[in-house]
Amino acid sequence: MAARPNAPLRAIGRVALLGIMVMLGSVALAPLLAAQATGTTTGTTTATAGDTTDPLGIALDAEEKGELKRAATAYRAVLAQALAPGAGDGDRVALSLLGLERVWAETGARDSVLPIVQRVLVLRPTDPTARGIQLRSLMSLGRDDEARLAFNSWRRAAGTDGAPFREYSRLLLAAGRAQAADSVLSDAARLLGAGGMLSGELAQLHVALGRWTAAAGAFRESLAGQPYLESAAMFALQRAPVPTRDSIRTVLMSEPVTLLPRRLLSSLELAWGEPRRAWAALASVRADDSTAAAWRAFGERAEFANAWPVARDVWVAVLDRRGDLEAQQHAAQAALNAGDAMAALELATRAPRVLRKGDSVAFRVRTLLPIEIAALGELGRATDAQARLDASAPYLDEMARAAMARPLVSAWLRSGDLARARAAVQGSDLAEDDETAGWLALYEGDLATARKRLVRADTKRGELVDALGLLARTRVPASPGLGLAFMALAQRDSAAASARFVALADSLGDAAPALLALASRIEAGKAKRGTDGKIPVAAKAMVLWDRIIASYKKSPEAPEALLASGRALRDAGDHPAAVTRFEMLLVDYPESALLPQARRDLERLRGQVPPYNSSQS
């Protein structure tokens, strides 16, 4: 859908209109209130789009309805009134000029505003609205020489006001004329002193010219006096090429340590996919109320970005500073999501440093107990979790108790106690839950029930997809061995799970390659990146991949094994072997859906496409 023409002008107009109407409204109300107090009324009213008695209202109404000619006539009437001797109503001058600019831009008669503006400037040579309209109109009409003259005229009239430089340089930057903007801002620096009120424009100029370090410095300087530029700075610097980011970091991290540049840097680091660095930028700012608020906001952003370890650290810092329940809950939950169950337990059970109104014991229990139970479950302490739940019973109503069922069931499963897990399901909402019933059936080896229930599950977790995939590959109604294998996974015993899946490959016939593939994924997940940046190939995973490739050539897992093993070899630094695997996949499995990925990986390995985040000088 095409944007309406002059949408930016309309936006500028509406904002200006709103601001001025607020002022007018407050001005208009004062005499009205005074008149009410004295029992008299006043004739002055605030014009609105619906007000058809005031020419400004008529103009706004006509513009709203798209009757542009009528609107133009009305705006001219407003202007004439505002410029009448003795009137001197600067706000209505501004409103009417902006209205004429919008209306004539829509009708393609933008140059019609110029003679009007010229007459206004004769009476009001420093009127910033008139000057701005004149410059904008001349630039958009391509009359660059006249625009330059208009700028010079404004400069002479404005004295030491930086507004002409700001407006003209912005227009030049928007027109892609960075070099011309550079000249204007250099003049401003010479005449008005370096940086200062124009540091924002200077920063944008540096961005346009690709001078990232200078841009960071100028934005940092501008934030002190114009903090609202933080979003603009973030948007501009976010696009900096990777090689230049260290210099931006140096600029924004330098002394003195103040909140605004550090917050800007933390936003940039998050955008660049570096949450740990983002927190490091904020963490060292002196802890006061503003900083704590910034930390809170950052913590929420880290959660949104699923950067759980960082989120944990942030909320712990907030908790140490503020000590409130909300921070405690966030910190404990983030620790749990980060896989740090010990820390989650410690945080969830920490005694409150600050008790606020509304933080009753019951409320604290209902807020923190689910996390505590989940953490105990992760640690394999299901008995302690049950005991904790029983001890907290007086503080829990029906609904709260029912909400604890899921973490408790997970805790029992984590401990390997299927019977207690089933018992925990009884009488809770989970009794009717397809996913819970399906998993319990699967752990018991009842594949028929598991197939029926799991396929109706709402969540789309990876383990569920694996389970459904396996269940679809075999028709046997029961397999205690498969149940035990998945139970081992639930207990986080990946070695036992992998061994059981491999052992089942011989007995479950059609599902053999799928079982081996699942086992290989488990084994491959254990490999960790070394100090040299490479990830050593998990030997067991490679054995399984090779077995699938050799023994189950026609299975869908064979191309998957080729791709996975190729990537593992690539990450371990064995590029020739990786190339061989990718080529085998491309040549032997021309119909595989994995071909585009394999081809892309092969092209990257061969240097046939630019690497990620590459940019030219």
Partner 1 sequence: MRASRRSWWRVSVAAVALVVSSAVPSYAQNILIPMDDGQRNHLKAYGVAFLALKTGQKAEWLLNYRGGAFLLPDVPDLRRRAALDGVSAEPISDAALAAARAEIAGANMDAVVLERAPRIAIYRPVNQPPWDDAVTLALTYAGIDFTSVWDDDVMKGDLSKYDWVHLHHEDFTGQFNKLFLAYRDAPWFVAQRDRDIAMAKRFGLPDVPALKKAVADNIRGFVDRGGFLFAMCGATESLDLAIASLVVDIAGPFSDGTPPAPDADARMVWSRTLAFTGAHVEPSPYINALSDIDGHQVNVPARRQPLGTFSLFDFSAKLDPVATMLVQNHRTVIPDFYGVTTSFNRAVIKPTVTVLAAEDGAPWTKYVHGDYGKGSWTFLGGHDPEDPQHAIGSPPTDLSLRPNSPGYRLILNNVLFPAAKKKPRKT
- For residue 457, the 8-state DSSP code is -
Nearer to partner 1, 284 or 615 (CB): 615
- Indicate which single residue of 90, 128, 196, 210 sits in contact with partner 1 (rule: CB under 8 A): 210
Size of site (CB under 8 A) for partner 1: 31
CA 581 to chain centre: 37
Nearer to partner 1, 217 or 370 (CB): 217
- Whether cis (ω within 30° of 0) applies to the bond prior to 115 is no
Nearer to partner 1, 77 or 271 (CB): 271
Taking the complex as a whole, the smallest distance from the CB of residue 117 to partner 1 amounts, in Å, to: 23
Nearer to partner 1, 173 or 373 (CB): 173
Residues counted in the chain: 617
- Distances from the Cα of 606 to the Cα of 259, 316, 491, 614, angstroms: 45, 46, 42, 16
Please state the three-class secondary structure of 99-157 as a single string: HHHHHHHHCCCHHHHHHHHHHHHHHCCCCHHHHHHHHHHHHHCCCHHHHHHHHHHHHHH
Nearer to partner 1, 171 or 497 (CB): 171
Nearer to partner 1, 217 or 483 (CB): 217
Taking the complex as a whole, the smallest distance from the CB of residue 161 to partner 1 amounts, in Å, to: 27
Distance CA 385, CA 283 (A): 34
19: left (phi over 0), alpha (psi -120 to 50) or beta: alpha
Distance CA 291, CA 257 (A): 12
Subset of residues 575 to 594 that bind partner 1, contact rule: CB under 8 A? 583, 586-587, 590
Nearer to partner 1, 38 or 617 (CB): 617
Stretch touching partner 1 by CB under 8 A, among 95-103, 169-177, 272-280, 506-514: 169-177
- Indicate which single residue of 178, 216, 252, 302 sits in contact with partner 1 (rule: CB under 8 A): 178
Work out whether 171 is an interface residue with partner 1 (CB under 8 A).
no
Q: What one-letter code names the amino acid at 472?
A: A
Work out whether 192 is an interface residue with partner 1 (CB under 8 A).
no
Work out whether 615 is an interface residue with partner 1 (CB under 8 A).
yes
Work out whether 603 is an interface residue with partner 1 (CB under 8 A).
yes
Stretch touching partner 1 by CB under 8 A, among 155-163, 170-178, 384-392, 496-504: 170-178
Nearer to partner 1, 432 or 591 (CB): 591
226: left (phi over 0), alpha (psi -120 to 50) or beta: beta
- Indicate which single residue of 51, 144, 384, 444 sits in contact with partner 1 (rule: CB under 8 A): 144
Taking the complex as a whole, the smallest distance from the CB of residue 208 to partner 1 amounts, in Å, to: 9
3-state DSSP: the chain helix, strand, coil percent, rounded to 5?
A: 75, 0, 25
Taking the complex as a whole, the smallest distance from the CB of residue 530 to partner 1 amounts, in Å, to: 27
Subset of residues 214 to 253 that bind partner 1, contact rule: CB under 8 A? 241
Taking the complex as a whole, the smallest distance from the CB of residue 243 to partner 1 amounts, in Å, to: 10
Maximum pairwise Cα distance, the chain: 101
The owner of tokens 């595989």 is 592
Residue 218 neighbours by CB distance under 10 Å: 27
Work out whether 595 is an interface residue with partner 1 (CB under 8 A).
yes
Structure tokens at 19: 């601001």
Radius of gyration from C-alpha coordinates of the chain: 34
Give me the helices (H) in 379-461, please: 382-391, 398-403, 405-415, 418-425, 434-443, 447-454
Nearer to partner 1, 5 or 241 (CB): 241
Nearer to partner 1, 10 or 599 (CB): 599
Subset of residues 354 to 373 that bind partner 1, contact rule: CB under 8 A? none
Work out whether 209 is an interface residue with partner 1 (CB under 8 A).
yes
CB environment 236-250: b (16+ within 10 A), e (fewer): bbeebeeebbeebbe
Nearer to partner 1, 119 or 553 (CB): 553
Distance CA 487, CA 497 (A): 8
- Indicate which single residue of 54, 101, 167, 182 sits in contact with partner 1 (rule: CB under 8 A): 182
Work out whether 211 is an interface residue with partner 1 (CB under 8 A).
yes
Q: Which of 171, 146, 22 has its CA nearest to residue 95?
A: 22
Work out whether 148 is an interface residue with partner 1 (CB under 8 A).
no
Helix (H, G, I), strand (E, B) or coil at 557: helix
Distance CA 216, CA 245 (A): 10
Work out whether 605 is an interface residue with partner 1 (CB under 8 A).
no
Work out whether 305 is an interface residue with partner 1 (CB under 8 A).
no
Work out whether 599 is an interface residue with partner 1 (CB under 8 A).
yes
Work out whether 181 is an interface residue with partner 1 (CB under 8 A).
no
Nearer to partner 1, 48 or 140 (CB): 140
Binding-site ranges for partner 1 (CB under 8 A): 144, 175-180, 182, 209-211, 241, 583, 586-587, 590, 595, 599-600, 602-603, 606-610, 613-617
